[in-house]
């Protein structure tokens, strides 16, 4: 697979790209087909209830990778993902309907080539890279029993598959499959002009910055090890997941945890609640390090200045 479209797509990763989403039956709850200009791949997704519609598509009979996504039955508010590959996806997917281990999923996505250029070796490589991405992201539990690291591809094929993977990881979040997206924290120069925010409570001390990916608590920050009854269940589940995935580890004292890496949160309140181990109003509790201004007042002032 040495066609130039792969390399063109990989080289243009910082340029705008056109993504086409086609609602096959005219509703967002039905089968959706996604394509990117100059990409030889195509992604299709649907709910479990519409799996039959997907399996009847000619694309489903091709060699490719697939994702099964649903709620994690062991974690409140958690997500679980299974990543697989097959020579004939339509023949493989019905097996998962008969498996109790795969009964968690409620949405399915497949990624194949528009032609027949993907081989078994190609999709085994893609499967391994996607499993690794889910593990590194730490936002979902993996249902895979193993994590294959298939590397037996010629160098040129690995380059092509890495470019194919870039497009896959771009398009699947648009379809609601975001478990493997690495939410890397931008450098300070690209953090939307955000100041550093600080939050201290009961011996814990955290530093954060707002970025285009979300509200980021920086590595080295500490959090209370104990929680109170006021912490919302969803934030407690998130906290437990960060501990389970090694993003929150034992801290400098027995009553503290420490952020082993930068962690992206969806909101200042989610970040503050995880740090404090209790319900916390992030917009009031996070403050600009240099001035003491609350996040809420800083945000309102910057929005007013932009008008």
pLDDT digits 0-9 by tens, 227-285 = 999 999 889 988 998 998 888 999 999 999 999 999 888 899 999 999 999 999 999 99
Dig out the tokens for 103 from the structure.
């009964």
Token representation of residue 29: 């709850």
pTM surpassing 0.85?
no
Alpha-carbon gap, residue 211 to 187, rounded angstroms: 9
Give the 3-state secondary structure of residue 109.
strand
What is the average per-residue pLDDT within 143-153?
80
13 band by pLDDT with thresholds 50, 70 and 90: very low
Rounded CA-CA distance 285/307 in Å is 26
- Residues 95-115 have pLDDT tens digits of 888 777 777 889 999 999 999
The whole-angstrom separation of Cα 139 and Cα 71 is: 12
Taking alpha carbons only, the member of 263, 303, 4, 6 closest to residue 160 is 6
The chain-wide mean pLDDT, for the chain, equals 86
pLDDT(8) > 70? no
**Distance (Å, whole) CA 100 – CA 161:** 32
């Amino acid at each position: 697979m040495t066609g130039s479209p792969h390399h063109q797509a990989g080289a243009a990763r910082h340029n705008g790209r056109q993504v086409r989403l086609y609602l096959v039956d005219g509703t967002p709850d039905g089968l959706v087909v996604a394509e990117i200009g100059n990409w030889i791949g195509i992604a299709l997704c649907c709910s479990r209830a519409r799996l039959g519609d997907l399996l009847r598509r000619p694309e489903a009979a091709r060699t490719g990778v697939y994702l099964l996504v649903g709620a994690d039955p062991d974690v409140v508010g958690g997500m679980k993902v299974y990543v697989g590959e097959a020579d004939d996806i339509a023949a493989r997917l019905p097996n998962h309907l008969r498996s109790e281990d795969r009964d968690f999923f409620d949405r399915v996505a497949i990624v194949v080539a528009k032609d027949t250029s993907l081989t078994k070796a190609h999709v085994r490589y893609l499967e391994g890279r996607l499993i690794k991405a889910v593990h590194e992201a730490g936002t979902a539990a993996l249902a895979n029993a193993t994590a294959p690291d298939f590397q037996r591809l010629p160098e040129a094929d690995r380059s092509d598959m890495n470019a194919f993977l870039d497009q896959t990881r771009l398009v699947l979040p648009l379809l609601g499959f975001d478990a493997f997206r690495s939410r890397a924290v931008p450098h300070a120069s690209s953090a939307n002009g955000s100041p550093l925010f600080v939050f201290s409570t009961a011996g814990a001390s955290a530093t954060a910055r707002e970025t285009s990916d979300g509200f980021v608590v920086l590595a080295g920050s500490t959090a209370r090890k104990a929680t109170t009854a006021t912490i919302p269940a969803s934030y407690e589940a998130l906290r437990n997941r960060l501990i389970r995935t090694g993003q929150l580890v034992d801290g400098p004292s027995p009553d503290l945890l420490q952020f082993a890496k930068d962690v992206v949160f969806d909101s200042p309140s989610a970040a503050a609640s995880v740090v404090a181990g209790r319900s916390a109003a992030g917009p009031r509790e996070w403050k600009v390090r240099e001035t003491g201004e609350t996040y809420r007042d800083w945000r309102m002032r910057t929005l007013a200045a932009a008008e």
